[in-house]
Amino acid sequence: MRPFQLVGHVVLELLATVGRVVLFAGAGLGHCVRPPFYFRSLGRQLIEIGYYSLPVVGLTAIFTGMVLALQSYTGFSRFSAEGAVANVVVVSITRELGPVLAGLMVAGRIGASMAAEIGTMRVTEQIDALTTLSTNPMKLMVAPRLVAGLTMLPLLVIVADIIGVFGGYLVAVYKLGFNPANYLQGTFDALQAEDVVSGLVKASVFGLIVSLMGCYHGYTSRGGAQGVGAATTNAVVSSAILILCFDYILTELFFSR
Amino acid sequence: MSERPAKIRIRNLRKSFGRKVVLDGLDLDMGIGESLVVIGGSGTGKSVLLKCVLGLLRPDAGSISIDGVEVVGASSAARDAINRKFGMLFQGGALFDSLPVWENVAFGLLATGRLRRREARAAAMAKLAQVGLGSDVAGLHPAELSGGMQKRVALARAIAADPEIIFFDEPTTGLDPIMADVINDLIVAITRDAGVSALSITHDMASARKIANRIAMLYQGKIIWAGPVADIDSSGDERVDQFIHGRADGPIKMAIRA
């Protein structure tokens, strides 16, 4: 193929995919607000995303907070600015690392399982079977997952924020010899509602991205086991990239002025 | 046949995937209470035809009417109403592996909210008994059943809502000859005795002869022959003869490469 043709082909294919994803998202979100609602399916997803992701997200958060305290201490000690450790930990965790790392971990855990489950149902004709049994698969399979992603990730991030800051506290107090009261005072002085809220808005968007990519790639998968494998990979990779991309866009919206 | 009102009437149905033309102006009629079997080689578009009728695929052009109601381009509410007349037996069963057998069978009844769970369970048991399965399998999951039993459960699910039309997608594929005959007998019992119309697709001629009152052959996107099952051996069409006798040589050349 000639180079111009190749470029054109790639660009057109990309735009077509973006269009398909947007239409899919619109249809899925539309079903979230129109009855009938499948509360049993929604409950299962809320528990799956919100509860069973807690260990993974918690462990990620505690080590991130610990590393953050250690790194910023060694870095800032060059400028004799060790006092800023509490400040740096709490702002970095709430604004940035809490939502992004929770989003990425949930993308690996939930996005993959959604794509695999829905993809398997697609290639074994279970999705078609739902339609013939008077059940709209978008309503039963996709809408509850979108709602669960949108609502559960902010809750996970609240937990991650707390555990992350606690991890920083542990290292600062027990390893670096900070005074506990001073460190906590520094943390609370630095903590702004704006930081936490912007982090939670990001978390909501990331949760939606993870669910959407998991469902989209599963729903459109074809061609047996290989197709489901590809769908799973695509779901995780595309959610990770979109999370990082939207992280920049949202940060720009919130904080650039 | 022609004076009987058509249950399904298909005119000039066209469907392509990219440059590959699968259905090329297909016409087909199915009467009320008739069991029509569409035969044809693998990859000739039998499944595509079925999915177009079921509304799982949107045809590029043409008309499909069911009980005189046009369904191509119908609103989703109208589509739902039509789909309630349907039961479908999928080739691989397509049972929901997360649900026990009885919930699979009762799925359509529960989805439409027609029955409470306890009533739906009783209805599912009755349908399972109709396909020769006892209450002991009701609580098992589909993965715990053999292929033949899965097919029976899928059959029970297809008939659970007492449909007016049942679609069978390769009902005997992947079964041993005896189990295939058991399924054929069940299909005959369900369709002929209950007066339900049935549209099946298969390439298993033994099955086709047993369950059909009329056979239509699909080749290159069109119906090339249709007639009563008794006439299939004297169709006068070389392509039909080649197919029903399973000969490699003849007017139909198998595409080695798709």
Contact B111, A38 (CB under 8 A): no
Q: Which helix (H) or strand (E) holds B65?
A: strand B61-66
Tell me what percent of the residues of chain A surpass a pLDDT of 90: 84
Cβ contacts of residue B23 below 8 Å, gap of 6+?
B13, B14, B15, B45, B48, B49, B52, B59, B62, B221
- Per-residue model confidence (pLDDT) at position B257: 47
Interface of B with A in 173-212 (CB under 8 A): none
- Chain B residue closest in CA terms to A124: B94
- Per-residue model confidence (pLDDT) at position B195: 77
At B162, the amino acid letter reads: D
Q: In the predicted model, what is the mean pLDDT of residues A222-234?
A: 92
Rounded to 5 degrees, what are φ and ψ at B66? -120, 120
Residue A241 has pLDDT above 90, yes or no: yes
- Chain B residue closest in CA terms to A123: B94
Taking only the tens place, the pLDDT of each residue in B206-232 is: 899 999 989 999 988 889 888 898 888
Find, among B127, B76, B70, the residue nearest to B104 by Cα.
B127
| Chain-chain contact of A134 with B83 (C-beta, under 8 angstroms) | yes
Chain A contact for B56 (CB, 8 A cutoff): yes
Find, among A45, A53, A228, the residue nearest to A157 by Cα.
A53
Residues of B in contact with A138 (CB under 8 A): none
Instruction: Measure in Å the smallest separation between the Cα of A136 and chain B Cα atoms.
Output: 9
| Chain-chain contact of A125 with B90 (C-beta, under 8 angstroms) | yes
Taking only the tens place, the pLDDT of each residue in A169-224 is: 999 999 999 999 999 999 999 999 999 999 999 999 999 999 999 999 999 998 88
Instruction: Measure in Å the smallest separation between the Cα of B213 and chain A Cα atoms.
Output: 25
Q: Which residues make beta-bridge pairs with B219?
A: B222
Mean pLDDT is lowest, of A28-42, A190-204, B102-116, for: B102-116
Enter the DSSP assignment of B230: G
Band (B258; pLDDT cuts 50, 70, 90): very low
- Per-residue model confidence (pLDDT) at position B18: 86
What SS3 state is found at B14? Answer: strand
| Chain-chain contact of A134 with B92 (C-beta, under 8 angstroms) | no
Mean pLDDT is lowest, of A64-73, A179-188, A226-235, B194-203, for: B194-203
| Chain-chain contact of A132 with B83 (C-beta, under 8 angstroms) | yes
- Per-residue model confidence (pLDDT) at position A48: 93
| Chain-chain contact of A128 with B87 (C-beta, under 8 angstroms) | no
Instruction: Measure in Å the smallest separation between the Cα of A208 and chain B Cα atoms.
Output: 25
- Per-residue model confidence (pLDDT) at position B74: 83
**Residue ranges per domain, chain A?**
3-255
Contact B96, B142 (CB under 8 A): yes
The bridge status of strand B86-89 relative to strand B165-169 is: parallel
Q: In the predicted model, what is the mean pLDDT of residues B165-171?
A: 91
Find, among A198, A188, A208, the residue nearest to A94 by Cα.
A198
What SS3 state is found at B11? Answer: strand
Residue B168 has pLDDT above 50, yes or no: yes
- Per-residue model confidence (pLDDT) at position A257: 66
Contact A167, A61 (CB under 8 A): yes
Residue length, chain B?
258
Residue A33 has pLDDT above 60, yes or no: yes
Distances (CA, A) of A171 to A70, B12, B224: 7, 75, 79
Query: What whole-number distance in Å separates Cα of residue A18 and Cα of residue A26?
Result: 12
| Chain-chain contact of A128 with B90 (C-beta, under 8 angstroms) | yes
Band (B5; pLDDT cuts 50, 70, 90): low
- Per-residue model confidence (pLDDT) at position B1: 43
Contact A183, A86 (CB under 8 A): yes
Residue B255 has pLDDT above 70, yes or no: no
Q: Which residues make beta-bridge pairs with B31?
A: B6
Band (A103; pLDDT cuts 50, 70, 90): very high
Contact B6, B30 (CB under 8 A): yes
Residue B11 has pLDDT above 80, yes or no: yes
ipTM computed for the complex:
0.86
Residues of B in contact with A135 (CB under 8 A): 107-108, 111
| Structure tokens belonging to residue B151 | 């097919």
What SS3 state is found at B88? Answer: strand
Cβ contacts of residue A202 below 8 Å, gap of 6+?
A99, A100, A103, A246, A247, A250
Residues of B in contact with A129 (CB under 8 A): 88, 90, 94-96
Mean pLDDT of chain A: 93
Enter the DSSP assignment of B146: -
With left for phi above 0 and alpha for psi between -120 and 50, is residue B254 left, alpha or beta? beta
- Per-residue model confidence (pLDDT) at position B73: 83
Cβ contacts of residue A143 below 8 Å, gap of 6+?
A28, A29, A31, A32, A37, A38
* Counts of helices then strands in chain A (DSSP H, E): 12, 0
Taking only the tens place, the pLDDT of each residue in A117-161 is: 999 999 999 999 998 888 889 999 999 999 999 999 999 999 999
CATH 3.40.720.10, domain B1-85+198-252, yes or no: no
- Using CB atoms, which residue from B94, B95, B108 is nearest to A134? B108
Contact B171, B200 (CB under 8 A): yes
What SS3 state is found at B39? Answer: strand
- Per-residue model confidence (pLDDT) at position B4: 55
Instruction: Measure in Å the smallest separation between the Cα of A22 and chain B Cα atoms.
Output: 20
